[in-house]
Every structure is written in structure tokens, then in C-alpha cells.
Amino acid sequence: MSPFTMDSNLHQQLMTADQISNLLAKDRQYVWHPFTQMKDYEQRDHVLIQRAEGIFLYDAWGRKYYDTVSSWWCNVHGHGHPRIKEAIHKQLHAFDHIMFSGLTHAPGITLAERLVQLAPEGLHKVFYSDNGSTAVEVALKMSFQYWQQVGNTTKTKFIYLEGSYHGDTLGAVSVGGVEQYHALFKPLLFHGYKMPAPDLRAAGGHTLADEAIVAEQALAPVRELLQLEAEQIAGIIVEPMLMGAGGMIMTPAHYLTELRKLCSAHQIHLIADEVATGFGRTGTMFACEHAGISPDILCLSKGLTAGVMPLAATLCSDTIYAAFYDDYMTQKTFFHGHSFTGNPVACAVALASLEVFEEEAVLERIQLTIRALETALHGSGLAALPYVANIRQLGLVAAFDLYEDAQRKMPFPPEKRIGAAIYEAGFEEGLILRPLGDTIYYWLPHCATPEDVSDIVSRTLRVLNKVLG
């Protein structure tokens, strides 16, 4: 399949060339795109998408692209899933948005119940918000206020990991460990403790023992800090098993199990940010399951609505909830809320998505895709390329790093912007790749078939060949 082949199912009217260039001129005139140096688009255009179906996006010229990053790690069942559309139509027939304070509604209630049933045990209360960043803000504020209200008032600081990413609101930025995104805003951030990440790339081999060594190396300074300062610390926030924006850093389960013990021993909240990893992406419903642990607070978004519309949830333990539950005049209310909290349409979509998980036995089905991905990564000649290193995978997510000399781990000069070149070349091969620096990754939707996977990897090889020879 060439990306330039018109798709036979293309039932949308294509735009005329004039309409397209008109829209793109307006894009340039009016729109400031997220995480984008707009000058990068001085000479070329953003890709104008006109249709999406399953794993494919179609641009206004009718060109077809694999959405290999699931539209920023959000999409789950493919674009335009009929069950999701149906759920939206049904909900809109009943009611659109209503306030979720003083009032309540069936989709919000039922979704909360389903989330509690599915989540790691002990997480019994659901607080909704709108996106991953706010899910994290809620978690931080909840943890902070909890300690104030149980009389442990010195516990005001948070631990976070190097290379972690938890969103772009200033609370979330304060616990972010990607210098490039956050350094500038230091004067606006609260102070926290940055600890090393247990990056599995540092493991000599792939045995559990190797993983444990990496984990213990990263745990040592945490143990030390907690010995000395646990009384100052409210919680630690981590992206369990897989640190996305920091460069698809995969981390050992051992780290999480030990961290869970440490947190319990020292009375520290373990906050699991599963905004990206939740809802099956790592092969299990939640990434915490790989380690068999429960956090005290769990942040969800992105895949929660199958990637269709904004919604987030922060789940917490009964212990935390209980510390806020008191007579109004004791002033223990959690004064947090967003206008669109518990948006009924988004909740209905999330419920439909969870039904699709059941009806289509999605978690079983993806195991095949996951194995196909493994096969493609290791059987395709990718590993033999002199500029490829650190091929890694967890569930539907895989990544590798590009080096000028992979053997000696000599990076490309940053000004070469190899990742950006791969990205551009990807479009020509019908791929939406979106490298993080020189890390190329896939973040596949659950609807990807084994055939899609091998096609995607072959196309990637062609892209690499084109750009790196």
C-alpha cells in the first residue's frame, strides 16, 4: 500500500487544492500549535487531516498514514469506533453537560464504579478532571492537603524522577524531570527532590537479576533521602514501568515493588501517573499490575475515553478520602474542581470504551499484536543497523535510539535534528512517527493487527534507510 494510493473507502469529499492552501494559510496565520517551534513550519505545512478510521489518518489529499503514536498516546480502539459514536449520540439525546457539584448523573457514577473495579485494589474513590495535567494536580493537592489534615504538617514536599513528565501546568511541571521543558520556569515552580530513574538501558543483560541491580541503584538515594527526610515528604510520583515523554524509558517492576514497601514504611504517598500507560497500553490494564502493586493515588486520562475526548480521573484510597470527610465548618473540603468535571458525554464515551474492552476481549487480542511487534523488532534487521541501539518494548509500546555510532553510543550532533528528519521522511512512507529527540518509538493503538505491525516496521526501515543511508 502506498500512502499516495487513494483509499477505496474514502467516502468524504476531498477538498480542492484551493481550499487546502486556504486552510493551511489560515493555520499559519492564526494557530499556535502545542510543543511546536512554529518557525519549523515556515517553509512546510502541517499535515491537514480530513478523516480518520481505525489505525489510519487521511490527509486532505487522500494520503493515508498509520497513526503509530495513537494520536499522542490517546487512541485505543482505533479512530471512529462505532460503539463510541453510538454512546455519544445516546448521551447527547439525554443531556450534554451539567455541573457535577450538587448534581450527579448515571454516566459519572457508573464510570467511577467501573474504574474502582478495574484499578489496582484499594483505590476506592474517583475524582474527575479534564486532562492528564489536572489529574496530576489533583493528586499532588490531595496528598499535600491530606498530610495537613492528619496533623503531619511538615510533609509538604514531593519526590519525582529524572526524565519524568507529568504535564504542563505549573504543579505538574514542578514534579517534571525533563530539563528541556521545565528549566526555564524554575522561578514559578515549587521545590522537590529529583531522584534517578531506573532506566533499563543501563542493565547489562535482560535477566531479573540485571533488572534488580538497576532498580536498586535508583532506589539507594531514595532510601537515603527517606531515612533522613521522610517527615518532610508527602509523596513520590512515578510513571510506572514506562516513562514516556522523557524518552520511552522502561523501568523494572522490582523498582515499583520496592518503592511500594518504602512508601508504606515511611508514610509517603505513592502516586502512580498512568495517564499514558493506563488502559492496556503496556499489555495489562494498568502498568502497576506488572509489579502487582497498588499506589495510594492513581492518575488516569488519555486512553480513559479511548482517546476521543478530554477526561481524567484521579483515584485514591479510603484513607485519603476519610481525612477530608468531616463537618463543613472544620474546613477540610477539597476545594478543587473544573467547570467540565465529570462531563457526561466524556463519561459515556469512557464507559463505552470499557465495554469494547470486554466485548472484543481487547486485552487478550492485543497479546498477538504484542508478539508480532516483538518479532518485527527483532526479526527485521533493525537491530543490525549500525545506528540503532536499545531496542525495547513493553506491550504495545516500543522504542529504539539512533546514534551516529550505536556500538560506541556516540550520539548525533543535536543540531542535525535526526529525529525531526525521520519524522518528515515518515510522512512520505505513510507513517506518523513522532520521535522524542533521537528516540524513535511506536505507541500503537489496540486495534493494530499483526499485519499492521510488520508493515509499520518495514516502512520504518525504509525511512531509516532513506535518512541515514
Ligand X SMILES: Cc1ncc(COP(=O)(O)O)c(C=O)c1O
Q: Choosing among ligand X, its own copies, none, which partner's interface includes residue 34 (Cβ < 5 to 8 Å by kind)? A: its own copies
For the CA atoms of the chain, what is the radius of gyration? 23
Residue 450 within binding range of its own copies, rule CB under 8 A:
no
Residue among 5, 9, 104, 465 that touches its own copies (CB under 8 A): 104
Residue 307 within binding range of ligand X, rule CB under 6 A:
no
Nearer to ligand X, 142 or 372 (CB): 142
Residue among 67, 239, 438, 452 that touches ligand X (CB under 6 A): 239
Nearer to its own copies, 69 or 394 (CB): 69
Residue 67 within binding range of ligand X, rule CB under 6 A:
no
Residue among 3, 120, 171, 246 that touches its own copies (CB under 8 A): 171
Residue 240 within binding range of ligand X, rule CB under 6 A:
no
Residue among 68, 70, 91, 131 that touches ligand X (CB under 6 A): 131
Residue 101 within binding range of ligand X, rule CB under 6 A:
no
What separation, in Å, do the N-terminal and C-terminal C-alpha atoms of the chain show? 23
Whether 258 contacts 215, CB under 8 Å: yes
Nearer to its own copies, 335 or 408 (CB): 335
Size of the site for ligand X (CB under 6 A): 16
| H helix or E strand, kind and range, residue 393 | strand 388-394
C-alpha distances in Å from residue 405, one per residue of 161, 237, 437, 468:
28, 35, 16, 12
3-state class (DSSP) for residue 405: strand
Residue 145 within binding range of its own copies, rule CB under 8 A:
yes
Residue among 24, 118, 150, 363 that touches its own copies (CB under 8 A): 24
Q: Among the candidate windows 17-25, 77-85, 268-276, 361-369, which touches ligand X by CB under 6 A?
A: 268-276
State the Cα–Cα distance between residues 255 and 212, nearest whole angstrom.
7
Cβ within 8 Å of residue 375, ≥6 positions away: 454
Residue 417 within binding range of ligand X, rule CB under 6 A:
no
Q: How far is the CB of 15 from its own copies (least distance, A)?
A: 8
Q: How far is the CB of 275 from ligand X (least distance, A)?
A: 4
Residue 273 within binding range of ligand X, rule CB under 6 A:
yes
Residue 136 within binding range of ligand X, rule CB under 6 A:
yes
Q: Output the CA angle 364-367-372, nearest 5 degrees.
A: 150
Nearer to ligand X, 100 or 400 (CB): 100
**Which 8-state DSSP code applies to residue 431?**
B
Residue among 50, 71, 75, 133 that touches ligand X (CB under 6 A): 133
Q: Choosing among its own copies, ligand X, none, which partner's interface includes residue 273 (Cβ < 5 to 8 Å by kind)? A: ligand X
State the Cα–Cα distance between residues 379 and 382, nearest whole angstrom.
8
Residue 310 within binding range of its own copies, rule CB under 8 A:
yes
| b/e code 282-308 from CB counts within 10 Å (16+ = b) | bbbbbbbbbbebbbbbbbbbbbbbbbb
Handedness of CA 110, 114, 117, 122 (dihedral sign): negative
State the Cα–Cα distance between residues 135 and 170, nearest whole angstrom.
13
Residue among 301, 317, 369, 390 that touches its own copies (CB under 8 A): 301
Q: Among the candidate windows 44-52, 264-272, 350-358, 368-376, which touches its own copies by CB under 8 A?
A: 44-52
Q: Choosing among ligand X, its own copies, none, which partner's interface includes residue 165 (Cβ < 5 to 8 Å by kind)? A: ligand X
Nearer to its own copies, 200 or 298 (CB): 298
Residue 166 within binding range of ligand X, rule CB under 6 A:
yes
C-alpha distances in Å from residue 38, one per residue of 30, 35, 41, 45:
11, 9, 5, 10
Q: Which three cell numbers stand for residue 301?
A: 486520562
Residues 211-270 contacting its own copies, CB under 8 A:
none
State the Cα–Cα distance between residues 251 and 242, nearest whole angstrom.
6
Between strands 297-300 and 64-66, the pairing is unpaired
Residue 43 within binding range of its own copies, rule CB under 8 A:
no
Residue 301 within binding range of ligand X, rule CB under 6 A:
yes
Residue 116 CA to its chain's centroid (Å): 20
| H helix or E strand, kind and range, residue 64 | strand 64-66
Residue 338 within binding range of its own copies, rule CB under 8 A:
yes
Binding site residues, ligand X, CB under 6 A:
131-133, 136, 165-167, 239, 244-245, 273, 275-276, 301, 338-339
